[in-house]
C-alpha cells in the first residue's frame, strides 16, 4: 500500500508541474491575443485526473501535503488576511461590540402619550 501511495504522490507531482507549464503557455497565448481553447481543455483533463488521484490517495489513508514548487508556502499564524480594496468599506471593528436591541412596544406607547 505504501508503494501505491508513493506512486500516486509521484504522479501528482508530475501532473502539477505539467499543469503549471500548461497554464504558463496559456497565459502567454492570452497575452498575445491568440486562441488557447485546446490548452484550457488539456488543463481540465489534467484537473480531472488529479481529482481521481487525490481521491485514491486519501482513500488509502494519505493526508500529507505534497509540495511541488521550489519555495515552500508560508502559512499565516494570524489567520486569513483579506487585502483591502481602495475605495471599499472596511469590515474591521474599531471599538467594543454593541448589541442592538429592538424597541419594545411598551416604550413606543409611552413616547406617543407624552
Q: Considering the domain boundaries, does residue 84 fall inside one?
A: no
Q: Considering the domain boundaries, does residue 12 fall inside one?
A: yes
pLDDT in tens, 51-90: 999 999 999 988 887 765 554 455 555 555 555 555 544 4
Q: Considering the domain boundaries, does residue 34 fall inside one?
A: yes
Q: How far apart are CA 43 and CA 105, in angstroms?
A: 61
What are the cell numbers at 25? 503557455
Report the candidate in 44, 65, 41 with the shortest Cα–Cα distance to residue 54.
65
Domain extent, residue 10, equals 2-59
Q: Considering the domain boundaries, does residue 73 fall inside one?
A: no
> Considering its fold, how many domains does the chain have in total?
1
Query: What does R_g of the chain's alpha carbons equal in angstroms?
Result: 27
What is the model's pTM?
0.55
Amino acid at each position: 500500500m505504501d508503494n501505491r501511495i508513493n506512486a500516486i504522490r509521484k504522479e501528482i507531482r508530475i501532473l502539477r508541474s505539467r499543469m503549471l507549464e500548461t497554464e504558463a503557455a496559456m497565459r502567454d497565448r492570452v497575452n498575445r491575443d491568440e486562441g488557447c481553447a485546446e490548452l484550457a481543455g488539456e488543463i481540465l483533463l489534467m484537473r480531472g485526473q488529479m481529482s481521481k488521484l487525490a481521491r485514491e490517495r486519501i482513500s488509502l489513508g494519505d493526508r500529507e501535503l505534497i509540495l511541488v514548487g521550489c519555495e515552500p508556502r508560508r502559512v499565516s499564524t494570524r489567520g486569513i488576511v483579506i487585502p483591502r480594496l481602495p475605495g471599499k468599506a472596511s469590515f474591521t471593528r474599531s471599538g467594543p461590540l454593541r448589541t442592538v436591541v429592538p424597541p419594545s412596544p411598551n416604550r413606543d406607547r409611552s413616547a406617543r402619550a407624552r
